[in-house]
Amino acid sequence: MPDSIVIIPTYNEKENIERMIRKVFSLPHDFHLLIIDDGSPDGTNIIVKNLMNVYPERLFIEERAGKQGLGTAYIHGFKWSIARQYDYIFEMDADFSHNPDDLLKLRQACIDGADAAIGSRYSNGVNVVNWPMSRVLMSYFASVYVRFITGIDVHDSTAGFMCYKRKVLETVRLDKIKFVGYAFQIEMKYTTIKHGFKLVEVPIIFTDRTAGTSKMSTGIFKEAFFGVIQMKINSIFRKYPEG
């Protein structure tokens, strides 16, 4: 049984998903791949199911009805992966903003002692390509804001490129993770640290998508901005067992 599973949530990613699947399976490690598709009307799910014949027992899909949010997609994937006893469980986008080659670096960071590894845009300067300056500044200062409010020493708290050891996801009470947008990424990192796990940032270069449409919205940003304060307040009244 391979030890690593990559979870990719999708909604209307027909321009990217086949290239992404083939790229992950070309890497010099035997990754499995789980696609969580939220009812893409563009046929993303059909592309994946056709490729399951090419990559049997390596490529899997879970189909859900309608857009239910990034956070719920990952939690669905986490529970699926825990049940199948994968040791290293990854989050990654479908649009090549995350370089699949960096999966190997995140996995190695966990082998070397991290309990979770972040593919970080901001741990070594600002490593973002093709984003407008307004979005770079919004993303960068969002992480500065999170550090200020929560006190966690993470430079890229909204990053969606992650590797978790299974024991982290078994310990964190996934049903208590409430946020569904980018605040989900903040909440997962904060909760991981509060449980006493070691989180390491691995520098990556983030490249904005060249195909398909971004899922970023004002509502997602507001959830992250106001949710951080609520998360910090709630944590005062919650006991976190050590990892």
Q: What is the pLDDT of residues 12-68, one digit of tens each?
A: 999 999 999 999 999 999 999 999 999 999 999 999 999 999 999 999 999 999 888
What is the model's pTM?
A: 0.88
Instruction: Kindly state the percentage of the chain with pLDDT values over 90.
Output: 63
CB 197 within 8 A of CB 168: yes
Locus of tokens 């859900």: 64
pLDDT digits (tens, 9 = 90+) for 176-213: 888 887 789 999 999 999 999 999 999 999 887 566 45
pLDDT score, position 181: 75
Choice among 55-64, 81-90, 141-150, 197-206 with the minimum mean pLDDT? 141-150
Task: Write the burial class of residue 233 (CB in 10 Å: 0-12 exposed, 13-18 middle, 19+ buried).
Answer: exposed
Write the pLDDT tens digit of every residue in 159-181.
Answer: 999 999 999 999 999 998 888 87
> What's the pLDDT score for residue 210?
62
SS3 120: strand
Which residue shows structure tokens 């909204």?
Answer: 158
* Average pLDDT rounded to a whole number, residues 104-131: 89
- As a whole number, mean pLDDT of residues 92-121 equals 96
Q: What is the mean pLDDT of residues 119-145?
A: 78
3-state secondary structure of 17: helix
Residue 243: pLDDT above 50? no
Q: Other CB atoms closer than 10 Å to residue 139's CB: what's the count?
A: 21
DSSP string of 30-68?
A: -EEEEEEE---TTSHHHHHHHHTTTSTTTEEEEE-SS--
Strand order in the sheet with 4-10: 59-63, 31-37, 4-10, 88-91, 162-165, 116-120, 199-203
Give the pLDDT confidence score for residue 133 in this predicted structure. 76
More confident residue, 137 or 48: 48
Question: CA–CA separation, 87 vs 102, rounded Å?
Answer: 18
Nearest to 74, CA basis, from 110, 116, 38, 124: 38
pLDDT at 134 over 90: no
Structure tokens at 120: 């970080």
176: left (phi over 0), alpha (psi -120 to 50) or beta: alpha
Residue type (1 letter), 150: T
Give the confidence band of 72 by pLDDT, cuts at 50, 70, 90: very high
The mean per-residue pLDDT over the stretch 68-94 comes to 96
**Which residue is it, tokens 């290239």?**
19
- What are the CA-CA distances from residue 26 to residues 19, 29, 31, 134 (Å)? 11, 8, 9, 35
pLDDT score of 195: 93
Residue 241 scores a pLDDT above 90: no
The Cα 65–Cα 87 span in angstroms is 29
Is residue 24 within 8 Å of residue 100, measured between CB atoms? yes
pLDDT of 99 > 80? The answer is yes
Report whether 30 contacts 107 (CB < 8 A). Answer: no
Given this model, what pLDDT does residue 239 score? 72
pLDDT at 128 over 80: no
